[in-house]
């Protein structure tokens, strides 16, 4: 029988957060630690990862840090070898090149797909193998509202985020019998280093805020709750799902408020 008092607790769990040095990854790491998990803060920015691990320890949480490049098989193998048991994987790294498709270069295409799609696949594949042997685990990808809605200049980024949804669904289908769950979180507009250039352009910033039902951007910290939910027993029957955390962006038209 389910213990409802501990639905969201992660005591005794080991969580690997890729991209933990900043933004959504940092929020996810802190949220998981606050719920009782021991968090491995991993990032290509090893100093940033160490800083976040330090924050968690100051908050009486359990954390360590390591350098991890999810596009590099050797880096991933090192991470897995040093952490043979991983109960939770959160993968957040992403890059975007805002540019019309007709002038997109092959190098830019490779840059975006290599990190966003291939990198996520490589780290998930490696962790999933270990989780399959231990017969449990939760893997969380970060997709985006761009997986289903797009705008000029976002084509390749959107394609990778849509690809992550199908990748998660396939992992979920193939790993379900092993007790491993795989899901996506699809944020709307979140204030992160990736979206920092938009903040300096008030008209653009306001337009995005006014597009969703809540009329504002999300903070990175608002992604921590959905991560904890999908990592915990509270979502024990949820796999292959996409959780939109977008302030209602994909639910409403957003272009005009009719007089009612």
Question: Which active-site residues does the annotation give?
Answer: 157
d(CA 112, CA 127): 22
Report how far apart, in Å, the C-alpha atoms of 146 and of each of 114, 137, 187, 189, 245 are: 18, 27, 9, 10, 12
187 is written with which tokens? 């944020």
- H-helix segments, the chain: 23-34, 46-58, 73-82, 106-113, 120-134, 155-175, 196-199, 202-211, 224-231
- What is the per-residue burial (b if ≥16 Cβ within 10 Å, else e) of 226-248? bbbbbbbbbbeeebbbbbbbbbe
Number of Cβ within 10 Å of residue 148's Cβ equals 15
d(CA 61, CA 154): 38
d(CA 118, CA 55): 30
Number of Cβ within 10 Å of residue 5's Cβ equals 7
């Amino acid at each position: 029988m389910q213990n409802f008092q501990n639905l969201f607790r992660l005591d005794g769990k080991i969580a690997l957060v890729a991209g933990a040095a900043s933004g959504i990854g940092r929020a996810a790491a802190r949220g998981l630690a606050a719920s009782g998990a021991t968090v491995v803060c991993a990032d290509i920015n090893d100093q940033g990862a160490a800083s976040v691990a330090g924050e968690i320890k100051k908050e009486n949480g359990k954390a360590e840090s390591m350098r991890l490049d999810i596009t590099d098989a050797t880096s991933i193998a090192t991470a897995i070898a040093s952490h043979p048991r991983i109960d939770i994987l959160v993968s957040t790294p992403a890059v975007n090149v805002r540019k019309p498709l007709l002038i997109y270069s092959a190098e830019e295409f490779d840059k975006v797909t290599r990190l966003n799609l291939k990198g996520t696949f490589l780290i998930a594949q490696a962790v999933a193998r270990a989780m399959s042997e231990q017969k449990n685990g939760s893997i969380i990808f970060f997709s985006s509202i761009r997986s289903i809605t797009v705008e000029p200049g976002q084509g390749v980024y959107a394609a990778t985020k849509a690809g992550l949804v199908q990748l998660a669904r396939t992992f979920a289908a193939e790993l379900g019998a092993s007790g491993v769950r795989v899901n996506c979180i699809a944020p709307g507009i979140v204030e992160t280093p990736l979206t920092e250039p938009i903040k300096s352009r008030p008209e653009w910033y306001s337009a995005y805020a006014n597009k969703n039902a809540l009329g504002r951007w999300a903070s990175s910290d608002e992604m921590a709750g959905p991560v904890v939910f999908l990592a915990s027993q509270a979502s024990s029957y949820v796999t292959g799902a996409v959780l939109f955390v977008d302030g209602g962006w994909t639910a409403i038209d957003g272009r005009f408020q009719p007089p009612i």
